[in-house]
């Protein structure tokens, strides 16, 4: 029997090899590399050409999966049997059985091809014998320093916060006004006598001017005329002679200087606040602090010793002792502080306004609010925690200031689990976020708030299946059943699927106890006026027909499915009355 191969429209045998037509071994290796074949999974058989001592190409028998997309100009081979290969889309002629093939080709491997006929593959090509492996050479490798990682996209942005102690220390040392001593000295005996003389002199001048412009005489004027021929008259005459001279102006300046130095310290402070509020902050004294108090009579106020010990980094027990007497000026000073703080806020000088509230008025909440208004979130949060004991506002400040981990810590302490979850989502940590969202769900379920719990699953955890499951649980347990089922149906976007779900609930879950609730849900679906309106109304009619004998009130629900039927309402009322009469 003579075997031959003929073209055929398909392969009748599995692909088992690849034919590479080329005489060069280098070309074979290049093709093997290009086709991404592994050498350890290949057996290579050289194929002779029709002329003596010539090579046609080679057959690659590959044990792995061949990717035909990388085949190129090479040709696939069918494996008729373990030892016989033919080109793809060919067939043996005449047909032979498997046993006949195994008997004829049991010893060696063979390949049949229209170009070179049948060839016995007796010698496996030894790749290693033809490969030249270069000798290893020792190379000094310089490893560069690790570079800065630049992400392709920014998924979250956070700010590292300082410790509370560092924040307060920075405010104390670098931002708030620093202590400044008042260098004016009190009047000596001579200066006091001179000041008294000036007061007498200027009071005389004032009395003289008043006598010239008014017919009414004051007590001073009467005293003057009664002793006009005495010392008083001589001084008056002398004052009139020197008035409006350079010497009188020097006396006036000297008088004002002495009178200013003779003022009480508290009056000096009040005047300074009116004329230069920011400078006054350097001399200001706190109110209702252990260092200063109103109504005491322990020691006079000395502006050169303001603050005493106002460091907010220390506890009250560690502050200096002693009190000062503000007398009746306490409320005047308090009012002035509040006016100054508001003026600083209007100028958007939030840090100095915070200084007034915090250090002078001891109004910690307003101090934190001032810093928060100026977007000094870290400083505001620190004051809220350390002085105002308000963790809620502190957490909000950390959140607004992008100090996410600090905000998470406080919200966790406050059991604001949903907020904690949202913050973890903002820094791309969905796993931790879901852990806290689950806590919110458990809390809602514990209070039978199934709709809210389902919204957490749907909108936050992105698990619609669990959301739907919760809504069904709420419907079945009759916990806000109508809203649960309405939301359950609303979450189904596909009309066909919604129709099937409505029928499934109707067939499997409706009884005399929940039929009225289900009708209200159907009325809601019917009002959408889509292609489900008619099937929904048919279901409603069936439910009413089955249950109207035991529950006549169901007839009132017919109106929801027949909005335009004005006679139906009358018929419904008549039916109810007849039922009651019976």
d(C-alpha 238, C-alpha 241), whole Å: 5
Sheet of 109-113, strand order = 42-48, 55-62, 15-20, 75-81, 84-87, 109-113, 117-121
Any bridge partners for residue 87, and if so which? 77
**What pLDDT score was predicted for residue 240?**
55
- Cα–Cα distance for residue pair 292/310, rounded to 1 Å: 10
Pairing type for strands 75-81 and 84-87 reads: antiparallel
pLDDT band at residue 497, thresholds of 50, 70 and 90?
Answer: very high
pLDDT number for residue 246: 62
Q: Are 426 and 433 in contact (CB under 8 A)?
A: no
247-261 burial: b if 16+ Cβ within 10 Å, else e: eeeebeeebeebeee
pLDDT the model gives residue 546: 84
How far is it, in rounded angstroms, from Cα 296 to Cα 326? 8
Please say if the pLDDT value at position 189 is more than 70.
no
Average pLDDT of the chain, as a whole number: 78
pLDDT digits (tens, 9 = 90+) for 516-554: 899 899 989 888 888 888 898 888 888 888 877 777 777
Q: What is the mean pLDDT of residues 149-169?
A: 67
What mean pLDDT is predicted for residues 371-385? Answer: 92
Using alpha carbons, select from 310, 331, 306 the residue that is nearest to residue 320.
310
Length of the chain: 582
Lowest mean pLDDT among 166-180, 220-234, 373-387, 449-463: 220-234
Take residue 175 and report the two structure tokens written for it: 């931002």
Rg of the chain on CA atoms, in Å: 51
Q: Is the pLDDT of residue 393 over 60?
A: yes
Residue-wise pLDDT for 53-80, tens only, equals 899 999 999 888 888 888 888 999 998 8
d(CA 88, CA 568): 79
Strand partners, 289: 292
The pTM for the full model equals 0.55
Residue 539, strand partner residues? none
The angle subtended at Cα 578 by Cα 574 and Cα 582, nearest 5°, is 170
Distance CA 55, CA 206 (A): 135
Centre a 10 Å sphere on the Cβ of residue 18 and count the other Cβ atoms it contains: 24
Could you give phi then psi for residue 28, rounded to 5 degrees? -60, -45
pLDDT for 390? 94
For the chain, the farthest-separated pair of C-alpha atoms sits apart, in whole angstroms, at: 170
Residue 581 pLDDT > 80: no
Give Cα 255 to chain centroid, integer Å: 65
Closest CA to 222 of 211, 209, 238: 211
Mean pLDDT across 191-199:
62
CB 182 within 8 A of CB 303: yes
> By mean pLDDT, which of 143-157, 333-347, 407-421 is the weakest?
143-157
Q: What is the pLDDT of residue 87?
A: 93
Res. 289: pLDDT tops 70: no
pLDDT tens for each residue of 435-450? 999 999 999 999 999 9
- Straight-line distance from the first to the last Cα atom of the chain, in angstroms, rounded to the nearest whole number: 104
Instruction: Name the band, by pLDDT with cuts 50, 70 and 90, for residue 1.
Output: low
Q: Is the pLDDT of residue 18 over 80?
A: yes
Give the model confidence (pLDDT) of 96-125 as tens digits: 887 888 778 877 888 999 888 899 888 899
165-174, 182-191, 358-367, 376-385: range with lowest mean pLDDT? 182-191
Residue with tokens 């010990």: 309
Q: Is the pLDDT of residue 224 over 70?
A: no
CA distance 109 to 83: 4
260-268's contacts with Cβ under 8 Å and 24+ in sequence apart are: 261/184, 261/185, 261/186, 261/187, 261/191, 262/187, 262/192, 262/195, 264/301, 265/182, 265/300, 265/301, 265/302, 265/303, 266/301, 266/326, 266/327, 266/329, 266/333, 268/182, 268/303
Residue 373 — pLDDT band, cuts 50, 70, 90? very high
For residues 549 and 395, give the distance between their C-alpha atoms in angstroms, rounded to a whole number: 60
Q: How far apart are CA 446 and CA 452, in angstroms?
A: 12
539 vs 546: CA distance, rounded Å: 11
Determine the Cα–Cα distance for residues 450 and 446; give it in Å rounded to an integer.
9
Whether residue 285 is preceded by a cis peptide bond, meaning omega within 30 degrees of 0, is: no
Instruction: Say if residue 294's pLDDT is above 60.
Output: no
> pLDDT at residue 227 above 80?
no
Average pLDDT over residues 324-330: 61
Query: Is 60 exceeded by the pLDDT of residue 513?
Result: yes
Q: What is the reported pLDDT for 88?
A: 92
Residues 6+ apart with CB under 8 A from 87: 5, 19, 75, 76, 77, 78, 113, 114
- How far is C-alpha 103 from the chain's CA centre? 77
pLDDT at 231 over 60: no
Question: Left (φ > 0), alpha (ψ -120 to 50) or beta: where does 135 sit?
Answer: beta
Burial 320-338 (b: 16+ CB within 10 A, else e): eeebbbbeebbeebbebbb
Phi and psi of 312, rounded to 5°? Answer: -85, 5
When pLDDT is averaged across residues 19-28 and rounded to a whole number, the result is: 92
| Pick from 85-94, 418-427, 452-461: least confident | 85-94
Mean pLDDT, residues 361-375 taken together: 93
């Amino acid at each position: 029997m003579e075997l031959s191969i003929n073209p055929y429209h398909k392969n009748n045998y599995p692909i088992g090899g690849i034919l590479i037509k080329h005489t060069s071994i280098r070309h074979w290796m290049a093709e093997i590399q290009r086709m991404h074949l592994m050498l350890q999974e290949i057996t290579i058989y050289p194929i002779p050409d029709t002329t003596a001592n010539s090579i046609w190409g080679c057959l690659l028998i590959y044990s792995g999966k061949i990717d035909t997309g990388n085949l190129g100009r090479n040709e696939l081979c069918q494996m008729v049997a373990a030892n016989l290969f033919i080109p793809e889309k060919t067939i043996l002629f005449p047909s032979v059985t498997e046993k006949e093939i195994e008997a004829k080709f049991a010893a060696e491997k063979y390949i049949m091809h229209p170009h070179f006929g049948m060839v016995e593959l007796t010698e496996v090509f030894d790749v290693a014998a033809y490969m030249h492996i270069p000798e290893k050479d020792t190379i000094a490798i310089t490893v560069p320093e690790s570079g800065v990682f630049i992400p392709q996209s920014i998924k979250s942005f956070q700010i590292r916060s300082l410790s509370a102690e560092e924040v307060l220390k920075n405010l104390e040392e670098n931002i708030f006004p620093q202590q400044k001593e008042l260098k004016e000295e009190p009047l000596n005996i001579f200066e006091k006598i001179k000041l008294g003389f000036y007061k007498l002199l200027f009071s005389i001048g004032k009395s003289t001017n008043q006598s010239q412009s008014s017919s009414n005489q004051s007590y001073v004027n009467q005293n003057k005329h009664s002793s006009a021929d005495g010392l008083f008259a001589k001084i008056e005459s002398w004052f009139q002679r020197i008035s409006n001279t350079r010497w009188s102006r020097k006396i006036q300046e000297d008088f004002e200087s002495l009178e200013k130095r003779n003022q009480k310290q508290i009056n000096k402070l009040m005047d300074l606040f009116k004329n230069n509020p920011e400078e006054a902050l350097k001399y200001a004294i706190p109110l209702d602090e252990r260092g200063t108090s109103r109504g005491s009579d322990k020691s006079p106020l000395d502006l050169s010793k303001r603050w005493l010990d106002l460091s907010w980094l220390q506890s009250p027990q560690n502050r200096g002792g002693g009190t000062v007497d503000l007398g009746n000026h306490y409320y005047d000073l308090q009012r002035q502080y509040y006016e100054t703080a508001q003026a600083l806020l209007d100028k958007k000088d939030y840090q100095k306004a915070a200084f007034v509230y915090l250090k002078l008025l001891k109004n910690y909440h307003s101090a934190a609010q001032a810093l928060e208004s100026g977007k000094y979130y870290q400083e505001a949060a620190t004051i809220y925690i350390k002085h105002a004991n308000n963790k809620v506002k502190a957490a909000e400040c950390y959140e607004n200031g992008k100090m996410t981990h600090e905000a998470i810590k406080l919200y966790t302490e406050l059991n604001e689990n949903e907020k904690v979850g949202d913050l973890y989502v903002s820094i791309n940590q969905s796993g931790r976020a879901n852990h806290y969202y689950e806590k919110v769900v458990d809390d809602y379920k514990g209070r039978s708030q199934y709709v809210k719990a389902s919204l957490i699953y749907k909108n936050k955890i992105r698990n619609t299946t669990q959301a739907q499951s919760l809504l069904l649980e709420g419907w079945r347990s009759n916990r806000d059943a109508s809203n649960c089922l309405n939301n359950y149906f609303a979450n189904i976007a596909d009309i066909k699927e919604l129709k099937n779900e409505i029928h499934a609930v109707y067939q499997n879950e409706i009884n005399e106890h929940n039929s009225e609730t289900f009708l209200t849900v159907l009325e809601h679906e019917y009002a959408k006026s889509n292609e489900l309106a008619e099937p929904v109304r048919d279901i409603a009619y069936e439910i009413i027909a089955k249950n109207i004998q035991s529950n006549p009130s169901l007839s009132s629900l017919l109106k929801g499915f027949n909005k335009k039927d004005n006679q139906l309402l009358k018929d419904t009322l008549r039916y109810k009355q007849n039922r009651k009469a019976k």
